[in-house]
């Protein structure tokens, strides 16, 4: 280190400093990155540094002339990447991704508005490149042009590695499992930086592309045979009972079944739902099947009857796949399909994924009047969200399929005093305490929404379906949950806590509580059959909940499963009547079935196998017969 001449700065050092400062200034001036504390600000400040050190550090191995050229070229390329994100962000309020580059409609929209997106002052984004070019031409005395020794290079890259690990470690403390929860691009950019994010995005895309490239239609044969062998005939009385009616599907954020018909501090937690259930079909043994994708996973399962991936979110990693989702099928059957969510359209990559699912319209943040007064926690309050959505429903072509994604009952369950209809639970656990008032708030929002549907004449011509998207109280709070429930939260009880409400309300139909074991994967075929649409040729792992032949068997993403008599979790079989472990032989007939379903679903997603399914339908039933003969040979 003593060989360094500290009185002068090298060209590579100058380039790193200029790009580092420019990137941070761009973060603060061109992107709307929300900072909540000093640690997040510090991470934002340092996150470009490790990438810049590594990429520009390569110049240390080059001779002076080539080094200067490399630094100039690299500086311009990095500036171009940053500027491309700035321009894209101005239009889409989002960061560039590899899948986005293949969304030709998005890019054409951007191109048509390029004159409005650019300004003369944008040259400032390349100011550092201009400075570096002048330095190379003028060779000022304060710049050092000496050669770097092996020791210099080693020290340089050790510092770069140390900063990279420090950045990632600090980010993980601020946002655990950061790299496996790739649903929020702003979160990734805020923590690992724009440049490292693009490298990670390329890694995900190349991995996905490789798996897709190696796949072929023959892989769909076994899956298709399995699914059609397990197809359950719909109930004759229920099939088509809601034909041509509107469908209003409501995702109830973090709502678990244990709050239904339950009280806290002597007050009902869900008074409206408790009454609504009496006039509806209520499935009391219905389980969420999400993994790390949480709400996006629930959307994926409900609309595709496929399982989510065990790591990451399908919405992010495989948004470009071909799917045969409910919105796409209903669009082909004369429905207008829409999703409504008063949040940033890019969150969970919905703006891209919804196109793959076949939605006609996505009502997102710009379609709502969102203010500080009508927002809390993660965004717009549910009461205001539903109220403003009524107008959107009235304007939709009929019949419509409209999915609502609520938000207020979201961790950390913040709520102003003016919106609390019940008092919090009293324990030493703030999360559990605050959960109940936010559930109660959403319950009130649903009540007001149903009343508005009646007032606007939308109620009688619609079926209303409500489901909990995923758990709200994690296993980190088992001790407090045990106090509330009055029992220890064992693995058996924890699995039972994964039950979420599932309610189908058909105006004019009598209510009925059904105890059949079921899950989110059963929603798609159930809805389609109610509307009179046959699903016999669909690739669905779920089955109609009203079918007399429905198998009471539900698989969770971690491999756990529930049957009529048993729960299998953490390699232990439990008797549902006693809640106690029993001989694993009782669960063995289902272990292989659960494993096969998850693996089959993964193959479909990783290989984008449904792109071959359309070919099968066009070529007729002989497609699979021929494939089987080929495989046999």
SS (H, E, C) 164-214: HHHHHHHHHHHCCCCCCCCCCHHHHHHHHCHHHHHHHHHHHHHHHHHHHHC
The reply to whether omega before 399 is within 30° of 0 (cis) is yes
If asked whether residues 71 and 191 sit together in one domain, one would say: yes
If asked whether residues 309 and 449 sit together in one domain, one would say: yes
Burial label, 317 (beta-carbon count in 10 A; 0-12, 13-18, 19+): buried
Contact criterion met (CB below 8 Å) for 603 and 223: yes
**Number of separate domains in the chain:** 2
Cα 91 to Cα 615: distance, rounded to the nearest angstrom? 37
Q: Encoding tokens for residue 394? A: 């009235």
If asked whether residues 290 and 428 sit together in one domain, one would say: yes
**Helices of type H across 358-477:** 382-395, 430-455
pTM: 0.71
Cα 300 to Cα 317: distance, rounded to the nearest angstrom? 12
Q: Encoding tokens for residue 483? A: 């106090």
Active-site residue list: 295
Q: Encoding tokens for residue 74? A: 């690299």
Cα 345 to Cα 339: distance, rounded to the nearest angstrom? 11
Q: Give the domain extent around 258.
A: 234-548
For residue 146, the tally of other CB atoms under 10 A from its CB is: 12
Residue 115: the pLDDT is 52
User: Rounded to the nearest 10 degrees, how much is the dihedral formed by the CA atoms of 301, 385, 395, 248?
Assistant: 30
Q: Encoding tokens for residue 487? A: 């029992």
Q: Encoding tokens for residue 410? A: 């979201």
**Per this entry, what is the length of the chain?**
633
Residue 474: the pLDDT is 85
Q: Is residue 619 part of a domain?
A: no
Q: Is residue 613 part of a domain?
A: no
| CA dist list (Å): 1 to 60, 61, 64, 294, 348 | 15, 17, 20, 50, 47
Residue 112: the pLDDT is 37
Residue 180: the pLDDT is 56
What are residue 143's DSSP bridge partners? 9
Contact criterion met (CB below 8 Å) for 503 and 273: yes
Cα 208 to Cα 202: distance, rounded to the nearest angstrom? 10
Contact criterion met (CB below 8 Å) for 10 and 143: yes
Residue spans of the chain under pLDDT 70: 1-7, 91-94, 97-117, 180-184, 208, 311-312, 614-633
Residue 186: the pLDDT is 76
If asked whether residues 176 and 239 sit together in one domain, one would say: no
SS (H, E, C) 456-489: CCCCCCEEEEEEECCCCCCHHHHHHHHHHHCCCC
If asked whether residues 199 and 269 sit together in one domain, one would say: no
Phi, psi angles (nearest 5°) of residue 132: -65, -40
The three-class DSSP label of residue 218 is coil
Per-residue pLDDT of 577-598, as tens digits, reads 999 999 999 999 999 999 999 9
Of 548, 581, 598, the last residue of a domain is 548
Residue owning tokens 């061109």: 30
Cα 176 to Cα 76: distance, rounded to the nearest angstrom? 34
If asked whether residues 207 and 264 sit together in one domain, one would say: no
Cα 54 to Cα 23: distance, rounded to the nearest angstrom? 16
The CATH number of the domain where 541 resides is what? Answer: 3.40.720.10
Q: Is residue 557 part of a domain?
A: no
Cα 302 to Cα 528: distance, rounded to the nearest angstrom? 12
CA quadruple 114, 120, 122, 123: dihedral positive or negative?
positive
Q: Is residue 566 part of a domain?
A: no
* DSSP letter assigned to residue 587: T
If asked whether residues 298 and 426 sit together in one domain, one would say: yes
The three-class DSSP label of residue 518 is strand
| Angle at the Cα of 581 from the Cα atoms of 579 and 582, rounded to 5 degrees | 115
**Helices of type H across 546-609:** 588-607
Contact criterion met (CB below 8 Å) for 544 and 550: yes
Q: Is residue 555 part of a domain?
A: no
If asked whether residues 178 and 249 sit together in one domain, one would say: no
Q: How far is CA 419 from the centre of its chain?
A: 28
Q: Is residue 331 part of a domain?
A: yes
Contact criterion met (CB below 8 Å) for 435 and 472: yes
By C-alpha distance, which of 164, 131, 148 is closest to 54? 164
If asked whether residues 198 and 245 sit together in one domain, one would say: no
Contact criterion met (CB below 8 Å) for 328 and 358: yes
Q: Is residue 176 part of a domain?
A: yes
If asked whether residues 51 and 170 sit together in one domain, one would say: yes
If asked whether residues 183 and 308 sit together in one domain, one would say: no
Q: Is residue 568 part of a domain?
A: no
Of 519, 548, 577, the last residue of a domain is 548
Of 211, 244, 267, the last residue of a domain is 211
Q: How far is CA 286 from the centre of its chain?
A: 21
The three-class DSSP label of residue 310 is coil
If asked whether residues 122 and 197 sit together in one domain, one would say: yes
């Amino acid at each position: 280190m003593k060989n360094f001449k500290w009185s002068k700065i090298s060209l590579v050092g100058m380039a790193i400093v200029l790009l580092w400062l420019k990137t941070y200034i761009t973060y603060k001036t061109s992107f709307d990155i929300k900072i909540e504390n000093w640690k997040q600000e510090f991470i934002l400040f340092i996150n470009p540094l490790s990438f810049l050190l590594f990429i520009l550090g390569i110049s240390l191995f080059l001779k002076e002339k080539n080094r200067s050229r490399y630094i100039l070229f690299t500086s311009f390329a990095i500036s171009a990447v940053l500027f491309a994100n700035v321009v894209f962000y101005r239009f889409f309020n989002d960061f560039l991704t590899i899948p986005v580059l293949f969304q030709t409609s998005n890019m054409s929209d951007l191109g048509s508005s390029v004159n409005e997106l650019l300004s003369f002052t944008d040259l400032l984004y390349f100011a550092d490149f201009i400075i570096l070019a002048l330095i190379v031409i003028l060779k000022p005395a304060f710049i050092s042009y000496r050669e770097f020794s092996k020791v210099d290079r080693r020290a340089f890259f050790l510092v770069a590695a140390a900063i990279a690990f420090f950045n990632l470690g600090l980010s993980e403390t601020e946002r655990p499992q950061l790299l496996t929860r790739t649903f929020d691009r702003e979160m990734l950019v805020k923590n690992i930086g724009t440049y490292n994010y693009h490298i990670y995005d390329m890694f995900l895309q190349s991995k996905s592309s490789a798996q897709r490239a190696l796949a072929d239609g023959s892989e769909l044969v076994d899956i298709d045979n399995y699914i059609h062998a397990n197809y359950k005939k719909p109930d004759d009385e229920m099939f088509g009972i809601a034909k041509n009616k509107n469908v209003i599907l409501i995702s109830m954020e973090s709502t678990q079944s244990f709050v239904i018909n339950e009280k806290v501090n002597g007050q009902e937690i869900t008074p409206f739902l408790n009454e609504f259930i009496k006039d509806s079909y209520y499935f009391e043994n219905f389980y969420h099947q999400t993994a790390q994708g949480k709400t996006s996973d629930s959307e994926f399962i409900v609309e595709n009857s496929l399982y989510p991936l065990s790591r990451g979110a399908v919405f992010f990693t495989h948004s470009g796949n071909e799917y045969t989702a409910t919105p796409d099928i209903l669009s082909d059957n004369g429905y207008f399909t829409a999703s409504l969510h008063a949040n940033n359209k890019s969150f969970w990559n919905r703006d891209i994924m919804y196109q793959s699912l076949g939605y006609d319209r996505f009502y997102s943040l710009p379609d709502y009047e969102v203010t500080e007064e009508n927002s809390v926690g993660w965004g717009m309050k549910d009461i205001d969200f539903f109220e403003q959505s009524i107008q959107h429903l009235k304007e939709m072509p009929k019949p419509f399929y409209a999915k609502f994604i609520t938000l207020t009952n979201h961790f950390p369950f913040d709520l102003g005093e003016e919106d609390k209809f019940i008092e919090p639970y009293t324990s030493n656990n703030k999360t559990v305490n605050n959960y109940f008032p936010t559930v109660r708030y959403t319950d009130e929002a649903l009540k007001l929404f149903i009343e508005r549907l009646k007032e606007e004449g939308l109620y009688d011509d619609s079926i209303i379906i409500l489901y909990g998207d995923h758990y709200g109280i994690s296993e980190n709070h088992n001790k407090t949950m045990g106090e509330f429930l009055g029992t220890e939260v064992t693995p058996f009880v924890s699995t039972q806590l994964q039950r979420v409400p599932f309610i189908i309300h058909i105006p004019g139909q009598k209510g009925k509580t059904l105890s059949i074991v079921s899950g989110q994967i059963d929603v798609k075929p159930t809805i389609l059959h109610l509307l009179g649409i046959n699903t016999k040729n669909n690739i669905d792992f779920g089955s109609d909940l009203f079918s007399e032949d429905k198998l009471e068997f539900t698989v969770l993403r971690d491999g756990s499963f529930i049957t009529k008599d048993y729960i299998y979790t953490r390699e232990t079989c439990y008797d549902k009547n006693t809640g106690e472990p029993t001989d694993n032989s009782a669960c063995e007939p289902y272990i292989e079935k659960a494993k096969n379903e998850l693996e089959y679903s993964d193959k479909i997603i990783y290989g984008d196998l449904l792109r071959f399914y359309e070919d099968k339908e066009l070529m007729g039933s002989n497609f699979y017969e021929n494939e089987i003969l080929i495989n046999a040979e």
